[in-house]
Structures are given as structure tokens and as C-alpha cells.
Structure 1
């Protein structure tokens, strides 16, 4: 099922899943856990699905009921305190789209980000001026200050991903190389940046040439698949398009697999990374 709202952070999801695992390991039902908490079983279900905030007092009571040792309780509560801190992206919340708020904590926990962009340079490979020019063209609803803030956020995202050595596997159409965004100077700088990106060990770039045949993602909107490192948390797929600033997010394994296969099929018919590098020359 698609979601279009801000959700719990990855850290909260991991902790909620851990609570469920500890309850099950203790052999307790949700009703028994709720009785220990003095609450309704629905409350325990919502806690375990991270549909409500994790209250320190409730968490401590649940862990005690599950027989967790004092050291584990303190470690868990320490992680909860850290999870409750504002995310690094907090200063930009007011200019972020709702789906971006839902994905920021997931993005920082991925091992690889795979993305398809049908008409523009993929966001994670854009230069500052190119990114700003895209918002100038596509987001007339935003103020100049909001556009500048969104551009700054993107630059910080790129730097954090690079520092964390999160792999980016980008697939794009050569259409982007012929779509003038922001003028000749901006395009020249962006082309130089793409060439530099192909030299990075954490980036794989493939291009579908203009004269190539249809492929598995022909006609599809921008798609991003996040491979999440935390075993308790499913991968995510994001499909942009539709209303301005909107996107669909799925975490159902079958849906994520379907989109990952579409990327696989499309990458198989795109230019090899070495040939894609030559296409940028």
C-alpha cells in the first residue's frame, strides 16, 4: 500500500520491532503485555508497529515484563533517547515534501540507492546550480528562499551519502543531456560533474541512448529503490509523479522486488558504465 505522509524514523521502527521480538521470545501475548502495562492490547500493537511515539515509561514497563535484564533495559532506553533527537534534516523540514520526510532516516541506513530518472539528471548527482534551476522550472509554487533551502538540503544529502560510502546506482536517459536546464553554463558544469561522478567508486552511472530501443522503464516516472541495512526494516521504493511534490512509497517485499526487477531489466539494456562514461565526453 502506498503512503504519502511522514512516518516514524528508522531508529523508532527498529526499536519497535525489537520490542515485539522480545515479547514473543518471552511467550507473552499482546493482551498479557497490555495487562502489564495497564493498557488496551491495541496500545501494544500500535507501539510494536511504531504507530505511536515510544514513551520511556511504557517501554521500561514492557521490557521489565519481558524479563529483560537491567543492562539491556538501559541500553534500549539509551537508543530510544537518541532516536528521539531531531534528525539531521530537521532545519529543512518546512521546505521538504511529505514523502521526503518519510525517507530521510531510511536513506541514511541504506547500503545502496538505485534510481531511474527519465528526463533529468538524477537528484543525487545534480550540481547546486542545476538543482536550483530544476526547482525554478518545476516548482513555481515555492518561494525563492524555499528553493534555496531545498538546494542546500540536497547538497548536504549528497555529502552525507558520500561520507557514509553509500553506493549510488543511477540510471538515466540521454534526454537529460539534451534538456537545457538553467542555461549553457549550468549544463556544462553539470556535465563535468557527471564525468567526475563516473570516476567515484561509490557511483555507478548508466545511460539509455536517444537512439536505443524501448526498455523496461520506458514511459515510467522517476523511481528510487532503497536497500536498507537494518534486517528488521524492509526496503523501500519511491515512485515520483502525479501532483506537484507528491510521491508513492511502498515497503511491501513483492512490490519492492517488482521495481527492483524493472531496474535490473532496464540496466541490462542500457549502456555499460564504461560506455556511459564515453557518452558524456
Structure 2
């Protein structure tokens, strides 16, 4: 896959408004015909500092932003408007209360998820996270995340429930494909599994969830052997789509925002979905 990993910004994570403003700064610099070195000279800093600002990998400081806008020739009215938006953008995101229990890569994804029009997911062995019940999600963390405290597991479960609630409210479409292995992997007790299967039935009956299943006796497909994948589609032109590939040590993931990489994974999902059971047949396959 092409390089271009999206590096975590800081422990609080950027808001969507912050991402938009950071991208806007890059656009204004390029429109002014200035390099990052020119911008760095205006700040008395290294070009790496400008790169981090433009890629939303650090907070937007009012003094730095004002200096950059002046260097780019922005009029006073534009500077005042930008700084007004900056004050709002620097407010904590809604997920702020749960940040201590989140994996570092999740912090940068929350603002993107909150603005996503579609989320596509592949899950090789479990029910996709955004379709999990509270009990199932907690049982997964109990089994797979012994590094976390009970309090952190509770917080992560509560955050997942809030994410699902917000995505439903904003009518984000979720298109998930998973292996039938998940239907037979016993997570928690019988009651947990029964509740989870009932929740899947209810989800696919709604307008915002599409679920496809690869049967146990099906052929290999484009994502066979691939860890969990999530692709976030955002309508805001300033914000690139993201792809997340989970795997490796507990809590780790690769996150890319490079268009070619996102397209590669989107195509893999397309190929996989093309030979998975049709959504109607997948619904019939649910226990």
C-alpha cells in the first residue's frame, strides 16, 4: 500500500472544525505562492512546525495563526473571521470525557467519524464494532484487552454506545461485511450472544445498516486473512476520507488519509462484497 500514515495529533484529538481550519491555512499559503519555509520564517520556526499545523497534528495557536495569515496577505476581516472560528474549533470534542480510555489512533478519528456520511467495515471474526451490543462489546474487551482496567473497559463500552447513538441520529450509513465465523464465535454467555443476534436482526431491518456475510463454506475473497478494516467517507471537501486497519499489539492500528491508499482499500471492500451473500440472504443467515 502507498505510504502516508496519518499521525496522531495529541491526546485530546482534533475536532472537525480544527481539521477544516488547518486545511484552510495550507490552501491560503499555496494561494499566496509561499513555501512551508516562507511560512516557517514568518513564525521564526522550523518548516516541520508548519507541516504539523497544516496536517492538524498540533493545536492551532492564535498567535501563530495570526502571524501566518498576515504573511499570506489576508485582510483584517478575514483574519478576524478565521480567529473567531478558531476559538470554537479549539473547544473539546464531545468525546472528551472518554479520552483517557481511548486508543491514541481513535482520538484523531472521532471528529472524522462524527462527520462521516458512510462508514464501511470488514470484520474477520467478530461482529463489527458499530453493530455490537453493550454486553457483547464489554465481553470482547474482557477477552482481548487484559491490559485495560475494569474502569477503562466500562468507559470504552459507554463511548461505543454513544458513538452508535450519534451515528444513528446523524443518519450515517453503515455498510459492514463480516465472516460467518462471528456468528459462531462465543462471546460472553448464551444470553450475550442471543441479545447480539437479535440486535443484528433489528439493525438490518433499519434504513441505515447494510450487512453482508461470507458463509463458512464460501470461497476465499479479497479480504481473506486481512484484519479489521474501516473506511470513513466524509462529504466535507477539506477533509480526506480515512481508512483504518486494526491489528498488531493491543490497541494499535494503521490509519491513512492518502487518497490512493483509501481507494485501494475501498476496492478491496468492493471485491469482497461482490462475492459475499446479498444483504437479503445475509439477513436469512443470521441465527
Same topology, TM > 0.5: yes
Equivalent position of 1:159 in the other structure? 165
Q: Quick check: 1:20–1:48 contact (8 Å CA) kept in 2?
A: yes
Residue 26 (structure 2) aligns with: 20
What is the alpha-carbon distance in structure 2 between the residues aligned to residue 65 and residue 244 of structure 1?
44
| Counterparts of 1:240 and 1:41, CA distance in 2 | 31
- Shift of the 146–22 alpha-carbon distance from structure 1 to 2, 3 Å rule, reads same
Write the distance in 2 (CA, Å) between the matches of 1:123 and 1:82: 30
Helix, strand or coil at the partner of 2:213: strand
Relative distance call for 1:128 and 1:65 in structure 2 (3 A) is: same
Among 83, 100, 108, the residue aligned to 1:77 = 83
Aligned length: 281
Question: Contact (CA 8 Å) 1:92, 1:150: kept in 2 or not?
Answer: yes
Q: Which runs of 5+ in 1 are unaligned?
A: none
Which deviations, in whole Å up to 9, do the C-alpha atoms of 1:127-172 show, x marking residues without a partner? Answer: 0011111111111222211111110010001011111111111111
Residue 48 and residue 147 in structure 1: after superposition, are their counterparts in 2 closer, same or farther (change >3 A)? Answer: closer
Corresponding residue of 2:269: 263
Query: Aligned equivalents of 1:181 and 1:123: distance in 2?
Result: 13
Instruction: Specify whether residues 41 and 256 from structure 1 end up closer, same or farther in structure 2 by C-alpha distance, changes over 3 A only.
Output: closer
Q: Which of 129, 139, 142 is the equivalent residue of 1:136?
A: 142
Work out whether residues 122 and 269 of structure 2, in 8 Å CA contact, stay in contact via their aligned partners in 1: yes
Asked if structure 1 preserves the Cα contact closer than 8 Å seen for 2:8 and 2:57, the reply is: no
Q: Where do residues 30-41 of structure 1 align in structure 2 (5 Å cutoff)?
A: 30-37=36-43, 39=45, 41=47
1:157–1:42 Cα change, 3 Å = closer
Aligned: 1:220 with 2:226: yes
Deviations 1:203-225 (A, max 9, x none): 11111111211111111111111
The yes-or-no answer on 1:243 pairing with 2:249 is yes
C-alpha RMSD over aligned residues = 2.0
Question: After superposition, what is the alpha-carbon deviation per residue over 1:222-275, rounded to whole angstroms, capped at 9, x for unaligned?
Answer: 111111222222211111111111111112222211111110000000111111
Does structure 1 retain, via aligned residues, the 8 Å contact 2:140–2:187?
A: yes
Q: C-alpha displacement at 1:30, in angstroms?
A: 4.1
> C-alpha separation between the residues in 2 aligned to 1:210 and 1:29?
54
Q: Does 1:276 align with 2:278?
A: no
Q: 1:222 to 1:81 in 2, by over 3 A?
A: same
Deviation of the 1:43 alpha carbon: 4.2
